[in-house]
Amino acid sequence: MRAAKPPVIQIRRVTKSYGHGDAVVHALRGPMTGGGEPLGVDLDVAEGDYVAVMGSSGSGKSTLMNILGCLDVPTSGRYLLDGTDVGHLDEGQLSLVRNRKIGFVFQSFNLVPRTTALAQVELPLAYAGVRAAERRRRATAALGLVGLADRAGHKPNQLSGGQQQRVAVARALVTAPAMLLADEPTGNLDSHSTEEVLGIIDGLNARGRTVVVITHEDEVALHAKRVIRLVDGAIVSDVRQAPVDGPPPALAAAAGVVA
């Protein structure tokens, strides 16, 4: 039944290059033709999947993340997000897409300074034009989901790193986006906070949210149902660790231990 649905992400022959002429650098190129022309990257991500994109720095994973997040536009190729071709959208429409379809979680948390946790989570809703009362209700619920209902009035400098990242997760999911896009979400966290944040993301995926995590940590990749490795702007391996329909492997393992 789920297989009948179109994938959340459909990338076709996408390349991204910087510079011109001899100085051109292909950050994202995919396999090369015999003549050395990049063919571009193809990638489909199904609804409910949990994908980890891995690679060392310079492998093009950040570029891929920026393109997936509609923060950057590909040099060539097509990108369909939730059925919409985002290649032809203007700046205003792109901000609408980011607002409605994508929830971002960044390595450096990227909370708005001097703003309470509740207001942070309300921000995307405010940009979406949701009314104040509804905004408050949904933001409170999202904070509850990440276990920070009691920290609603705290500002970023009053929260620990793990708590800040959980606020960021709440902010990412409050608009019920088509995809949660996390860029090294645990890169700045200690192991305890890492487990906390990954646990929350696992829980979200278990409830059907599509998740794409960019990471270079194997422990993080273990949580994903599917692991994609990038080297020099091309996908070199694509391993499925768990079925799209099932729970994420970490939760499944935990359930197995309990059972």
Partner 1 sequence: MLRFAVAGLAANKVRSALTMLGVLIGVASVILLLAVGNGSSVAVKDSITSLGTNALTVSSSASRGSVTAAKKLTVEDAKALATATDTPSVKSVAPVVTTSGTALYGNISYQPGQIVGTYPAYFETSNLKVGKGDYFSADDVLNSRKVAVLGSTTATELFATEDPVGKKITIGGTPFTVVGVLKTKGSTGFNDPDDVVIAPLPTVQNAFTGFGSVNQILVQASSAEATTEAQSDITRILMGTHAIKDATKVDFRISNQTSLLSARESTDRTFTVLLGAVAAISLLVGGIGITNIMLVTVAERTREIGIRKALGAPRAVILGQFLAESTLLSVIGAGLGVLVGIAGSHFPVVGIKPVVIPESVLGAFGIAVAIGLFFGSYPANRAAALRPIDALRHE
| Minimum distance of partner 1 from residue 4's CB (angstroms) | 29
Neighbours of 198 (CB within 10 A): 22
Cα 152 from chain centroid (whole Å): 24
The values of phi and psi at residue 80, to 5°, are -105, 120
Cα 156 from chain centroid (whole Å): 21
Q: With contacts defined by CB under 8 A, how many residues of the chain interact with partner 1?
A: 26
Q: Is 16 in the site for partner 1 (CB under 8 A)?
A: no
- Residue whose C-alpha is closest to residue 146's, from 123, 180, 125, 171: 171
Q: Is 106 in the site for partner 1 (CB under 8 A)?
A: yes
Contacting residues for 152 by C-beta, under 8 A, at least 6 apart: 116, 117, 118, 140, 143
Q: Is 104 in the site for partner 1 (CB under 8 A)?
A: yes
Q: Is 99 in the site for partner 1 (CB under 8 A)?
A: yes
- The answer to whether 77 and 11 have CB atoms below 8 angstroms apart is yes
| Minimum distance of partner 1 from residue 168's CB (angstroms) | 10
Q: Which two tokens stand for residue 71?
A: 């923060």
Compare residues 214 and 227 and give the one whose CB is closer to partner 1: 214
Name residues contacting partner 1, limited to 45-74 (CB under 8 A). 66, 69, 71-72
Contact pick of 2, 25, 85, 128 for partner 1 (by CB under 8 A):
128
Residue 108: half-sphere exposure toward Cβ, Cα within 13 Å = 3
| Minimum distance of partner 1 from residue 123's CB (angstroms) | 5
Q: How far is CA 157 from CA 63, 149, 154, 171, in A?
A: 30, 17, 8, 17
Q: Is 171 in the site for partner 1 (CB under 8 A)?
A: yes
Q: How far apart are CA 81 and CA 68, in angstroms?
A: 8
Q: How is residue 110 annotated by DSSP?
A: -
Q: Is 100 in the site for partner 1 (CB under 8 A)?
A: yes
Compare residues 102 and 234 and give the one whose CB is closer to partner 1: 102
Give the Cα-Cα-Cα angle 241, 101, 126 (nearest 5 degrees). Answer: 135
Compare residues 67 and 148 and give the one whose CB is closer to partner 1: 67
Name residues contacting partner 1, limited to 222-251 (CB under 8 A). none
Contact pick of 11, 111, 118, 250 for partner 1 (by CB under 8 A):
111
Q: Is 166 in the site for partner 1 (CB under 8 A)?
A: no
Compare residues 72 and 195 and give the one whose CB is closer to partner 1: 72
Q: Is 36 in the site for partner 1 (CB under 8 A)?
A: no
Compare residues 128 and 239 and give the one whose CB is closer to partner 1: 128
Binding positions for partner 1, rule: CB under 8 A: 66, 69, 71-72, 91-92, 95-100, 104, 106, 110-115, 123-124, 127-128, 171, 175
